[in-house]
Homo-oligomer: A and B are copies of this chain.
Amino acid sequence: MSEHNQLLADLGLDVQLHDKLLASQAKSYRDIILSQPDRPGAMAYFDRAAHGAHGGRVREIVDAREQGAKMIGTFCVYVPEEIILAAGAIPVALCGGTTFSVPYAEKAFPRDICPLVKSTLGLALADICPYGPIKDMAVGETTCDAKKKVWDVISQSVNFHVLELPQKKTERGGDLWLHEVHEFKERVEELTGARIEPGVLAQKVRLMNRKRRLLRDLNELRMAPRPPISGKDALLVMQLALIDEPERFCNELEALVAELRQRVEDGVSPFAPGTRRVLVAGCPSVLGNWKIHHIIETSGAAVVCDESCTGTRYFENLVDEGAQAVDEQLEAIAERYLRIDCSCFTPNTERIEHVVELAGECRADAVVQYILQYCHTYNIEAIRIARALRSAGIPSLEIETDYSEEDAGQLRTRVEALLESLQGVSP
């Protein structure tokens, strides 16, 4: 047994099944990511980080925990990572992007909940998530029915904290959310035994803002007439933003952004001139899931922007760095996070307008609304989004799908039909 597998075995994982998971992931990674032409050199780090998601990163966290650090698992971009970092704890997104683990969830949970939730649950239930045994707490939120009710079940056996998001963006809703952020800070302090000091919190706010700015830079570079990076690679970077050590991640992303800037100047792109541009809007695609991006980019188009939690929703809007006292800092944090335009809100007119705006900014020829199966909120919101895009003269397509490959052929046909319908329209 390798040293790493010995570690996993010591953590109580099913090493044999975990090997199978890795083998299936390695194959997808080769076929979907590594096979792409003209990748930026700086992607080498992110390839290693993806490879290390169940390897080096786990070792790193195990070592940090031996030094007394705590790991906090998250499932959503609403969890204020600044607070976790300021307490010396390590935030890691626990979202599953693989169809491999879905059947293990379906044994214990309803089949008709979204693949993201099932994949995540399945990794834990099948003992193949290395973060499961090393997390000291998990933090859920109330953004959707499926997740909200899953917390009820798993909090019976896991140290768990639920953050309540309001459902309308009213003043009262804002008050409730601010209170939740305060309570979360207390819970994190209790877990870590640390007291969050304004100086350290300010430093972590700056760190998270740096990450957001760099991701925004990456996103802006994709808006170039010839994007310097594929949509799949840009997505991979976003996926790792939710898992990787943030300082190192920022340094590596800085190098990538510099390279991409040079590529734009030099006119280097993985895409031929005139390649159709697609904005993907809707549900997140977490690590392991490149399904819709792969279909689009192997159908002759480029994904030039992600309007999702593995995209703009993660990095848009900064936390105000001017606050001094912890209370003010928490207020600034609460304010920034509440601006996220998740479909969990009613009404959510700001998102409708934002999608149209983004499509314009990235000069999208078309929008693909990506909806994870049984995700009621994005699925129903798609009606208003499609209507708004139609009014703006932007062609769009709604795709509701899971993580399996069963419908890949059918989806490819639909995407190709969308792209063909653009012929005659100047790119």
Q: Which residues of A contact B (CB under 8 A)?
A: 108-110, 112-113, 142, 144-146, 148-153, 155-156, 162, 164-168, 170, 172-173, 175-176, 179-180, 343-344, 346-348, 373-374, 376-377, 379-381, 383-384, 400
Q: In the complex, are the beta carbons of B149 and A381 less than 8 A apart?
A: yes
Closest 6 CB pairs of A and B: A149-B380, A145-B376, A142-B167, A110-B379, A146-B376, A164-B168
Given contacts A152-B348, A155-B347, contact A145 B142 (CB under 8 A): no
Given contacts A166-B164, A176-B176, contact A153 B384 (CB under 8 A): yes
Given contacts A113-B376, A346-B148, A376-B113, contact A168 B162 (CB under 8 A): yes
Closest residue on chain B to residue A348 by CB atoms: B152
Given contacts A151-B346, A167-B164, contact A380 B146 (CB under 8 A): yes
Q: In the complex, are the beta carbons of B175 and A383 less than 8 A apart?
A: no
Closest residue on chain B to residue A346 by CB atoms: B148
Query: Could you list some 28 contacts between A and B, CB below 8 A?
Result: A109-B380, A109-B383, A112-B373, A112-B374, A112-B379, A142-B167, A142-B168, A142-B346, A144-B376, A145-B344, A146-B380, A148-B346, A149-B343, A149-B346, A150-B380, A151-B347, A152-B347, A152-B348, A152-B381, A152-B384, A155-B347, A162-B168, A164-B166, A164-B173, A172-B175, A173-B176, A175-B175, A374-B374
Given contacts A152-B347, A176-B173, A374-B374, contact A110 B380 (CB under 8 A): yes
Chain copies in the assembled complex: 2
**Nearest Cβ distance between residue A190 and chain B, in whole angstroms?**
17
How far is A153 from B347 in the complex, measured between Cα atoms in Å? 9
Query: Which chain B positions have C-beta within 8 A of A155?
Result: 347
How far is A113 from B382 in the complex, measured between Cα atoms in Å? 14
Q: In the complex, are the beta carbons of A152 and B380 less than 8 A apart?
A: yes
Q: In the complex, are the beta carbons of B170 and A164 less than 8 A apart?
A: yes
Query: Which chain B positions have C-beta within 8 A of A381?
Result: 149, 152
How far is A383 from B108 in the complex, measured between Cα atoms in Å? 8
* Contact residue among B113, B145, B176, B374 (Cβ-Cβ distance under 8 Å from A172): B176
Query: Which chain B positions have C-beta within 8 A of A148?
Result: 167, 346, 377
How far is A89 from B21 in the complex, measured between Cα atoms in Å? 60
**Nearest Cβ distance between residue A273 and chain B, in whole angstroms?**
38
Query: Which chain B positions have C-beta within 8 A of A156?
Result: 384
Query: Which chain B positions have C-beta within 8 A of A344?
Result: 145
**Nearest Cβ distance between residue A293 and chain B, in whole angstroms?**
23
How far is A377 from B167 in the complex, measured between Cα atoms in Å? 16
**Nearest Cβ distance between residue A141 and chain B, in whole angstroms?**
9
Query: Which chain B positions have C-beta within 8 A of A179?
Result: 172
Query: Which chain B positions have C-beta within 8 A of A150?
Result: 380
Q: In the complex, are the beta carbons of B167 and A380 less than 8 A apart?
A: no
Query: Which chain B positions have C-beta within 8 A of A166?
Result: 164, 166, 176
Closest residue on chain B to residue A112 by CB atoms: B374
Query: Which chain B positions have C-beta within 8 A of A168?
Result: 142, 162, 164
Query: Which chain B positions have C-beta within 8 A of A374?
Result: 112, 374, 376
How far is A297 from B149 in the complex, measured between Cα atoms in Å? 31
Closest residue on chain B to residue A380 by CB atoms: B149
Closest residue on chain B to residue A163 by CB atoms: B168
Q: Which of A110, A149, A150 has the most CB of B within 10 A?
A: A149
Q: In the complex, are the beta carbons of B162 and A346 less than 8 A apart?
A: yes
**Nearest Cβ distance between residue A350 and chain B, in whole angstroms?**
12
How far is A57 from B287 in the complex, measured between Cα atoms in Å? 56
**Nearest Cβ distance between residue A420 and chain B, in whole angstroms?**
25
How far is A166 from B168 in the complex, measured between Cα atoms in Å? 10
